[in-house]
Amino acid sequence: MTPQSLQILTPNVPVYKAADAEAYKDLVDVLILCGGSATDLPHQTPEFAQWFHVVDSFDTHAAIPEHFQAVDQQAKENSKVALISCGWDPGMFSLNRLYASAILPCGTDYTFWGKGVSQGHSDAIRRIEGVKDARQYTIPVEAALEAVRSGSAPALTTRQKHTRECFVVAEEGADLQRIQHEIVTMPNYFADYDTTVHFISQEELEKNHSGIPHGGFVIRTGKTGWNEEHNHVVEYSLKLDSNPEFTASVIVAYARAVYRMAQKQDFGCKTVFDVAPALLSPLSGEELRKKML
Amino acid sequence: MTPQSLQILTPNVPVYKAADAEAYKDLVDVLILCGGSATDLPHQTPEFAQWFHVVDSFDTHAAIPEHFQAVDQQAKENSKVALISCGWDPGMFSLNRLYASAILPCGTDYTFWGKGVSQGHSDAIRRIEGVKDARQYTIPVEAALEAVRSGSAPALTTRQKHTRECFVVAEEGADLQRIQHEIVTMPNYFADYDTTVHFISQEELEKNHSGIPHGGFVIRTGKTGWNEEHNHVVEYSLKLDSNPEFTASVIVAYARAVYRMAQKQDFGCKTVFDVAPALLSPLSGEELRKKML
């Protein structure tokens, strides 16, 4: 694909080659990197942080420390602000884990995802022989949510927290029983979960399962009191019709903060943990105190 | 009451007169002010911000701008950090209003309180002739919560959002009908709400209504998409067995942040909006990124 062949929804917005980005380094306030976490962002974010203040949505949780290190070095050497791992998890969910655990140190927290579409799990099903198309939903178990909210701090297995529901379009004449077996026994993806498989037509998939909804819950319960006699439940939840559009909305709010941190020369790699909330809002400190505090 | 007559739960913690506070100005890392918003804090916080880094829980929403001004001047002149209006509303609820509105600018937010005890409303009932004791619960209307969560952005009257439930101990021979009438027609406090009044015995009040639970919900719904076709619901809720103990827990976490801001010489009056989340946690930035992001 060339910049000339790319059709974007907003007319008259210029499109350039990523390879030519450096030429625009004095024209861009904040560069938003939309690449994938597996192979794009690990090299793109440090590279572009040489020339731009950047935001990325790197979401491989286990690799965040390494990614932070690489980006921090480039950002500091070049007096740039680089905010990584922005979105809702990592992102808003991380913030809620942090706030609730700082307030209730004597407690336990839980993250549930869904109901929502997992692209990775949908892809895994599509790679099975005889599968034409598939959509996988991750669903939190209502009984587990209730147990957590009760303050009993239950120990929950993977199976007890989420179920997986799969809508599969099979090729004509495919062995449905074999496909179902391959799905529910697939290690890492499905074997540790109670998984339901529905075979449906391509039309039905397109009609009822074309959206990319997602969401989830961060719940922390904790105790206070001279004899730990008081329970508290802090719950944050998201119910999103469009996972990518909400993620983009979070990123845009943080791009505003990155610009402001750059003005204050607060350079280096940052995460949502390092950003004072007021920096996200278009309102002034005075307006915020008057209208939202 | 003198310092000598005061019995506190933790043995061997010294107790001093507030009037002698200045003498301890080099010994206290952060001073937490626990006075009331009506008459204590408006003069105490500016006064003590001359000598100490302070946190208060000033909660008269409409008077926050004026309080901020007075505290900011003293804190800046004396190189102190003063965090005001800390707790859960103002506090954690304010934060959630800010985050959600920055992410979903095209949306509406709602705050519901309860189920919980309102001290102000309980006091108002106790001032009625013939009332010995009383406890008032503020209760969010479930149907209103559901309407908000649906994303329909309903316009809700005061009456549609909350109901009020009163447990009243009457003096012997008191005119119960008159008391009930005085409660439900009381301007500002009850007249705009559907209010239920139960007359109970002092024993029952002490047995079933001696706690100080509270909580509530901050919900923002918003739209994204080329034709605003996607709805999103962001919900934060608290369910607290003890309102004062949870408020104290928030204040202690912010006292940690105030100490750190003082070390960085980030002086002046602050609110929760100005505090980067990482400053609240005992964990280092590295640990936070590894464990919570």
List Cα–Cα distances, A33 to A85, B105, B293, in angstroms. 11, 22, 19
Q: Within an 8 Å CB–CB cutoff, is residue B242 touching chain A?
A: yes
Contact B224, A246 (CB under 8 A): yes
Contact A192, A163 (CB under 8 A): no
Handedness of CA A263, A269, A272, A276 (dihedral sign): negative
Q: Within an 8 Å CB–CB cutoff, is residue A231 touching chain B?
A: yes
Q: Which residues of A touch B224 (CB under 8 A)?
A: 242, 245-246, 248-249
Contact A288, A110 (CB under 8 A): no
From the first residue on, what is the mean pLDDT of each consecutive set of 10 residues in chain B (293 residues)? 83 91 96 94 97 96 96 98 97 98 97 94 95 97 97 95 98 97 95 97 97 97 96 98 97 98 98 98 97 95
d(CA B111, CA A162): 30
Closest partner CB to A278 (pick from B230, B239, B273) = B273
d(CA B67, CA B52): 17
3 state DSSP class of A113: strand
d(CA B212, CA B243): 6
B285·A273 Cβ contact <8 A: yes
pLDDT number for residue B1: 67
Asked which of A59-63, A79-83, A145-149, B182-186 is least confident by mean pLDDT, the reply is A59-63
Q: What is the CA radius of gyration of chain B?
A: 22
Angle between helices A243-263 and B92-103 (to 10 degrees): 110
Quote the distance between the C-alpha of residue A188 and its chain's center: 19
Closest partner CB to A103 (pick from B229, B253, B274) = B253
And the tokens for B251? 């204040």
Contact B246, B238 (CB under 8 A): yes
Question: What are the strands, taking DSSP E only, across chain B?
Answer: 31-32, 54-55, 81-83, 107-113, 116-117, 131-140, 162-170, 194-199, 214-224, 230-240, 268-270
Report which of B166, B157, B159, B165 is spatially closest to residue B192, judged by C-alpha positions: B159
Report which of A245, A274, A233, A236 is spatially closest to residue A82, judged by C-alpha positions: A274
Contact A53, A81 (CB under 8 A): yes
Asked which of A170-179, A266-275, B7-16 is least confident by mean pLDDT, the reply is B7-16
Q: How confident is the model at residue A11 (pLDDT cuts 50, 70, 90)?
A: confident
Closest partner CB to B249 (pick from A103, A231, A242) = A103
d(CA A240, CA B94): 22
Handedness of CA B11, B13, B14, B17 (dihedral sign): negative
d(CA A56, CA A33): 5
3 state DSSP class of B253: helix
Please state the rounded mean pLDDT for residues A78-91: 97
Closest partner CB to B235 (pick from A98, A237, A276) = A237
Test the A interface: residue of B149, B219, B261, B273 with most A CBs within 10 Å: B273
A103·B292 Cβ contact <8 A: no
pLDDT number for residue A1: 67
Residues 6 or more apart from B223 whose CB is under 8 A from it?
B104, B106, B107, B151, B229, B230, B231, B232
Please state the rounded mean pLDDT for residues A120-130: 94
Contact B237, A235 (CB under 8 A): yes
Please state the rounded mean pLDDT for residues A208-235: 97
d(CA B10, CA B13): 6
d(CA B84, CA B55): 6
pLDDT number for residue A5: 83
Q: What is the CA radius of gyration of chain A?
A: 22
d(CA B93, CA B110): 10
pLDDT number for residue A259: 98
Residues 6 or more apart from A26 whose CB is under 8 A from it?
none
pLDDT number for residue A114: 96
Closest partner CB to B239 (pick from A64, A229, A233) = A233
Supply the mean pLDDT for chain A.
96
pLDDT number for residue B6: 85
Q: Which residues of B touch A250 (CB under 8 A)?
A: 103
Residues 6 or more apart from B89 whose CB is under 8 A from it?
B59, B111, B113, B216
Q: What percent of chain A has pLDDT over 90?
A: 94
Q: Which residues of B touch A94 (CB under 8 A)?
A: 292-293
pLDDT number for residue B2: 80
Long-range pairs, A206-213, Cβ under 8 A, ≥24: A208/A167, A209/A117, A209/A135, A209/A167, A211/A117, A211/A241, A211/A242, A212/A117, A212/A119, A212/A242, A212/A243, A212/A244, A213/A115, A213/A116, A213/A117, A213/A240, A213/A241, A213/A242, A213/A243
Please state the rounded mean pLDDT for residues A143-171: 96
pLDDT number for residue A7: 84
Confidence check: pLDDT of A50 > 70: yes
Q: Within an 8 Å CB–CB cutoff, is residue A95 touching chain B?
A: yes
Q: How confident is the model at residue A119 (pLDDT cuts 50, 70, 90)?
A: confident
**DSSP-assigned letter for residue A91:** B
* Smallest CA–CA distance from B63 into chain A, residue: A290
The complex's ipTM works out to 0.95
* Smallest CA–CA distance from B230 into chain A, residue: A241
Q: Within an 8 Å CB–CB cutoff, is residue B234 touching chain A?
A: yes
d(CA B161, CA B129): 29
Amino acid at A124: A
> What DSSP assignment string belongs to B147-202?
HHHTT------HHHHEEEEEEEEEPTT--HHHHHHHHHT-TTTTTTSEEEEEE--H
Please state the rounded mean pLDDT for residues A115-127: 93
Residues forming a β-bridge with B31: B54
Contact A79, A267 (CB under 8 A): yes
H or E element, residue A248: helix A243-263
d(CA B168, CA B123): 11
Residues forming a β-bridge with A239: A215, B233
| Burial of residue B19 (number of CB atoms within 10 Å: 0-12, 13-18, 19+) | exposed
Q: What is the pTM of this model?
A: 0.95
pLDDT number for residue B179: 98
